[in-house]
Amino acid sequence: MKKVITYGSFDLFHEGHYQLLKRARELGDYLIVGVTTEHYDEYRGKLNVMDSLMERIDNVKKTGFADEIIIEDHIGQKLEDVQKYQVDVFTVGSDWTGTFDWLKDYCEVVYLERTKNVSSTMLRAKKYKILNLGVIGTGRIARRFYPETKYVSGVNVKGVYNPHLQSASDYQEMFGLEFGTDNIEKFWEQIDAVYIASPHETHVSYMEQALQMGKHVLCEKPMALSEREAKDLYALAAKKECVLMEAVKTAYCPGFQQLLGIARSGVIGAIRDVEAAFTKLETAGSRELTDLDFGGSFLELASYPLLAIFKLLGTDYEDLRFEAIRDENGIDLYTKAYFRYKNSLATAKTGLGVKSEGELLISGTKGYIFVPAPWWKTQEIEVRFEKQEQNEKFFYKFLGEGLRYEISDFVAAVNGNEKKEHKLRAEESVAMARVMEAWRNV
């Protein structure tokens, strides 16, 4: 019996998939089809798979070509499967030509001609209207943002606004956008959604305008600097049926999600302390170190530590106090925010003029979790115990700048997918604004 194996996501099952499975089956007597899990697709950087694993398996099953369906969930599995199932022929479409030649040491490798003019990507684009996104602000983060949108299907960065026309034009040119403008009315007219990456103090007013006009909003952190403003914005978004998301990238990245799952699972017992740090040395004279109202380490960097604290301990802290080292102008160079919860403690540590280890430490009654710097790009975590031999390390992918995860979730939310809203809830975002407000009132 000649055994054939093939793999794919088989999302939004189409004619190309059907033809491939048919011809794969014809290559032998028994066809095994490997269908990828959501995690593995995410790991591969395929962020927009629409159908669930069960739906995709069902669709493969319905063709009647698969004698056996297996799940593909990790890199390196293909070689395991080829040996485990004693496969004679490995096949995939011609878009992969050459990629799997190394398997020729183990079995025959066949690249089947791909069916023209159909793909899951094309179908996704047809099924969902492309989201025309505008960018407000043209600084460092905005420049990192655009390239990351290229990894997410269903979104097109159409134009950019900056009150200084030259900055808008430069950004437009840099990324080949359709327009760059200093006219905010014209900006709103041409877009469905906005990414706000302007100075902190301007966020609220842009968000209000956007939501009033029915535009979906992805806003850089800190989204708002007072609890009232944040609450009002979420209420306005709900009223206008718009998505409002705070762009704390860590919240949306896969490693951090899994860290939360492990920390809350009970392996380290009850969580009693969360210590999260983020420091970044800035050169003298930078905006961060000179803007007395809106600069300083806490406003600039605290969103990440606050995210970890609120995700792990909730937002109902009983007490909050700050300690800071300031420069002669009053700008905070190094700040610690101390939280007391009913049964636990937390510290958020930020520094622009003091460098420290950017680690996250979650201490529990049975053990602790150590996430080394840069924990906010969660790639590695270690669960540690009194008995060292029980320690365990986990590794995750964090692709590129990591902004693609928040962009992907934003597009999914606009398209009506509510399954990812738990990643950063409105109440958590509001609590961050409450802390920013408390800090500013110190």
| List of residues contacting ligand CTP (CB under 6 A) | 8-11, 16-17, 20, 92-93, 95-96, 114-115, 118-121
Shortest Cβ 41–ligand CTP spacing (Å): 9
Shortest Cβ 149–ligand CTP spacing (Å): 17
Strand 216-220 and strand 380-384: the pairing is unpaired
Q: Is the dihedral of CA 101, 107, 113, 114 positive or negative?
A: negative
Closest CA relative to residue 363, chosen from 259, 260, 273, 257: 273
What is the C-alpha separation between 180 and 171, in angstroms, rounded?
7
Place of tokens 């655009």: 146
Please compute Rg for the chain using Cα positions: 25
Q: Residue 334: exposed, middle, or buried by beta-carbon count in 10 A (0-12, 13-18, 19+)?
A: buried
Q: Which is nearer to ligand CTP, 125 or 373 (CB)?
A: 125
Shortest Cβ 66–ligand CTP spacing (Å): 13
Shortest Cβ 13–ligand CTP spacing (Å): 9
Q: Which is nearer to ligand CTP, 93 or 222 (CB)?
A: 93
Q: Which is nearer to ligand CTP, 97 or 258 (CB)?
A: 97
Shortest Cβ 407–ligand CTP spacing (Å): 17
What is the C-alpha separation between 381 and 265, in angstroms, rounded?
15
Q: Which is nearer to ligand CTP, 50 or 333 (CB)?
A: 50
Contact present, 69 and 35 (Cβ < 8 Å):
yes
Q: 299 is written with which tokens? A: 């406003």
* The residue type at 81: D
Shortest Cβ 123–ligand CTP spacing (Å): 8
Q: Which residues are 70's β-sheet partners?
A: 34
Question: Which residue, judged by CB position, is nearest to ligand CTP in the bound state?
Answer: 93
Q: Which is nearer to ligand CTP, 8 or 180 (CB)?
A: 8
Q: Which is nearer to ligand CTP, 153 or 344 (CB)?
A: 153
Contact present, 222 and 295 (Cβ < 8 Å):
no
Q: Which is nearer to ligand CTP, 15 or 201 (CB)?
A: 15
Shortest Cβ 60–ligand CTP spacing (Å): 10
Shortest Cβ 176–ligand CTP spacing (Å): 23
Q: 109 is written with which tokens? A: 């490798």
DSSP string, 199-255: -GGGHHHHHHHHHHTT-EEEEESS--SSHHHHHHHHHHHHHTT--EEEE-GGGGSHH
Q: Which is nearer to ligand CTP, 93 or 295 (CB)?
A: 93
